[in-house]
């Protein structure tokens, strides 16, 4: 276990009666990193996060979050982590300002509630009851509560499920600004583009374990993976797979004596990598 890691997980296991939710999962998350756990519903992401948050006991494995075991950690540890719940529907009768102000009281070095509300873009709604907020506004309030205590580590469990595209973009900008401040963020999502847009590191989780893991840009050897160069030879579609597309294009250019008709170069997207992983598993 490295001392510098914000989160270190070895061989985590959790069963619910007959269902194995987490089955030997390993994770290593460094400080200052935005780490995405990506996987389909039921892969064990939420169970894992809830164990890391100290909400659930585990059956087996070593877990260290900010240097402590979440199962035994106390209030001092809680002061350093922020949690954005997946499906909170509480405090409907309170206003946004009352809710953020109240939670600020639990932390010794809380951010100014007004500034946090501004940061999540709810200043215009600060005086409104929580129950009249839209889904996207509600999640942004959850983020405000999650970060008001100035956490070193923030948990975001499927934060944008059910968002419209515009709300998702705004939410991403918010998360990027938090990451820019140096907050370590563990994000779970089943949206590939979300992981790609936000995360430095991605772990693909399936059936309770990590099946692929790496920097987002090179997950599963994606940056080294073969590219497909396609062009038109007369009316005929031609393509070759190569790990040196520049060479192929240079040869084609020489052959066509200038521009190559219908030239395209494509690399596998994170989605292709992801679908390949799950395709090869089933």
Partner 1 sequence: MMTAIHRPAGTIALGLARGGVELKTFFRQREAVVFTFSLPVVLLVILGTLFSGEVAGTGITVGTLFTAGMIAAGIASTSFVNLGISIATDRDDGTLKRLRGAPMPAASYFVGKVVLVLVASLAEAAIVVGIGWLLFDLALPAEPGLWMTFAWVFLLGVTACSLLGIAASSLARSARSAPAVMNLPYLVLMFVSGIYFIPLSSLPQWLIHIGSLFPFKWMAQGFRSVFLPDALTVQEVAGAWEHGRVALVLAAWCIGGLVLCLTTFRWRSRRDS
- Total number of residues shown for the chain: 282
Q: Give the shortest CB-12-to-partner 1 separation in angstroms.
A: 19
Output the CA–CA distances (angstroms, integers) from residue 105 to 94, 98, 118, 120, 160, in the order listed. 16, 11, 18, 19, 27
Contacting residue, 75, 235, 259, 281, with partner 1 by CB under 8 A: 75
Q: What is residue 101's three-state secondary structure?
A: helix
Q: Which segment (105-113, 166-174, 227-235, 259-267) binds partner 1 by CB under 8 A?
A: 105-113
Q: Give the shortest CB-241-to-partner 1 separation in angstroms.
A: 48
Q: What is residue 16's three-state secondary structure?
A: strand
Selection from 153, 174, 98 nearest residue 131 by Cα:
98
Residue partners of 182: CB distance under 8 A and separation at least 6: 32
Question: Counting contacts by CB under 8 A, is residue 41 touching partner 1?
Answer: no
Which lies closer to partner 1 via its Cβ, residue 102 or residue 190? 102
Sketch the per residue contact string, 141 through 180, with partner 1: x for CB under 8 A, - otherwise. ----x---xx------------------------------
What is the DSSP code (8-state) at residue 146? H
β-bridge partners, 231: 238
Contacting residue, 60, 69, 105, 223, with partner 1 by CB under 8 A: 105
Q: Residue numbers of the site for partner 1 (CB under 8 A)? A: 53-55, 75-76, 78-79, 81, 83, 85, 87-94, 98, 102-103, 105-112, 115, 129, 145, 149-150
């Amino acid at each position: 276990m490295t001392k510098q890691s914000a989160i270190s997980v070895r061989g985590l296991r959790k069963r619910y009666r007959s269902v194995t939710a987490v089955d030997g999962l390993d994770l290593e998350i460094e400080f200052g990193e935005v780490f995405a756990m990506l996987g389909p519903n039921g892969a064990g992401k939420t169970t894992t996060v809830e164990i890391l948050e100290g909400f659930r006991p585990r059956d087996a494995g070593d877990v260290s979050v900010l240097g402590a075991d979440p199962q035994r950690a106390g209030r001092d540890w809680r002061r350093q982590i922020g949690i954005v719940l997946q499906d909170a529907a509480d405090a409907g009768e309170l206003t946004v300002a009352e809710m953020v102000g109240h939670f600020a009281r639990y932390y010794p070095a809380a951010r100014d509630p007004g500034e946090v509300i501004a940061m999540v873009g709810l200043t215009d709604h600060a005086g409104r009851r929580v129950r009249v907020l839209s889904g996207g506004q509600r999640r942004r309030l959850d983020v405000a509560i999650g970060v008001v205590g100035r956490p070193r580590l923030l948990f975001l469990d499927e934060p944008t499920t059910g968002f419209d595209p515009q709300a998702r973009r705004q939410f991403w900008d918010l998360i990027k600004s938090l990451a820019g401040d140096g907050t370590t963020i563990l994000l779970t999502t089943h949206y590939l583009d979300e992981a790609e847009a936000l995360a430095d590191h991605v772990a693909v989780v399936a059936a309770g374990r990590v099946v692929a893991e790496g920097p987002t840009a090179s997950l599963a050897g994606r940056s080294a993976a073969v590219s497909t160069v396609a062009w038109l030879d007369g009316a005929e579609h031609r393509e070759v797979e190569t790990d040196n597309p520049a060479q192929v294009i240079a040869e084609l250019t020489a052959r066509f004596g200038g521009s190559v008709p219908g030239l395209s170069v494509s690399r596998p997207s994170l989605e292709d990598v992801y679908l390949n992983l799950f395709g090869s598993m089933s």
